[in-house]
Structure 1
Amino acid sequence: MDLKITKDNTNALLNRREMNFSVNYEGPTPARSVVRGKIAAMLNVPLDLVVVHKMGNEFGKQALEAYVKIYENEERMKQIENEYVLKRNAAPEEAKEE
């Protein structure tokens, strides 16, 4: 899987970094948790502070576009993000417990 940053913006008002990524992959479309983990590792940030807001691909292409938000702290993330977005980004083990 190849990740490339297409846009990087710092939002000081909301204490987060907003980024657009282009992801090229082989085989099936990668899961949100896999993309989230790769982005956290690539940028050397804690996984808990990375939110993949949107992922979209076109039929027949081995590429997708992702919109990602990286927060400075967890409290601010929980204040701003909708609950359904946080549930989408929860680890699979956490989602099963709820």
Structure 2
Amino acid sequence: MELKILEKKDNPLLHRVEVKFEVSHPKSKTPSRDEVRNLLAANLNADKNRVILDNMHTPFGSTTTTGFAKIYDDVENAKKIEPDYILIRNKLIEKKEEE
């Protein structure tokens, strides 16, 4: 699996770096969100908990996944800014049980 950063933009107002990326995964399935977060954290020298994967898309029959991620300065800023469903997808908070 190979990661290529297509665009990297600093957003000081929201205390984050926004990244558009492409993951090449020849002869294998689409990588999980967790695998992509680990790959982004390793390549951008960031803690995995600060990496918020917003979206990923793999066209049918393709071995390339494109996506958008945000790397926050700290986890607290991510929890203040991001909606709950994104935080749940990225395993930063637990899903609330409905009664």
Count of residues in correspondence between the two structures: 95
Give the deviation of 1:43 after TM superposition.
1.1
Residue 74, structure 1, aligned to residue 75, structure 2: yes
Is the alpha carbon distance of 1:95 and 1:62 closer, same or farther for their aligned partners in structure 2, counting shifts above 3 Å? farther
Percent sequence identity over aligned pairs: 39
Residues 1-98 of structure 1: pairs in structure 2 closer than 5 A = 1-26=1-26, 27-90=28-91
Give the deviation of 1:95 after TM superposition.
5.5
3-state SS, counterpart of residue 22 of structure 1:
strand
Give the deviation of 1:70 after TM superposition.
0.1
- The one-letter code of the counterpart of 1:63 is T
Spell out, residue by residue over 1:50-90, the C-alpha distance to the aligned partner (whole angstroms, 9 max, x if none).
Answer: 00000001000000101000000111111100111011111
Partner Cα distance (1:14, 1:44) in 2: 19
Q: TM-score, normalised by structure 2?
A: 0.89
Give the deviation of 1:19 after TM superposition.
0.4
Partner Cα distance (2:29, 2:19) in 1: 23
3-state SS, counterpart of residue 86 of structure 2:
helix
Greater percentage in helix:
1
Q: TM-score, normalised by structure 1?
A: 0.90
Partner Cα distance (2:11, 2:51) in 1: 14
List gaps (5 residues or longer) in structure 2: none
List gaps (5 residues or longer) in structure 1: none
Spell out, residue by residue over 1:4-25, the C-alpha distance to the aligned partner (whole angstroms, 9 max, x if none).
Answer: 0000000010000000001100
3-state SS, counterpart of residue 86 of structure 1:
helix
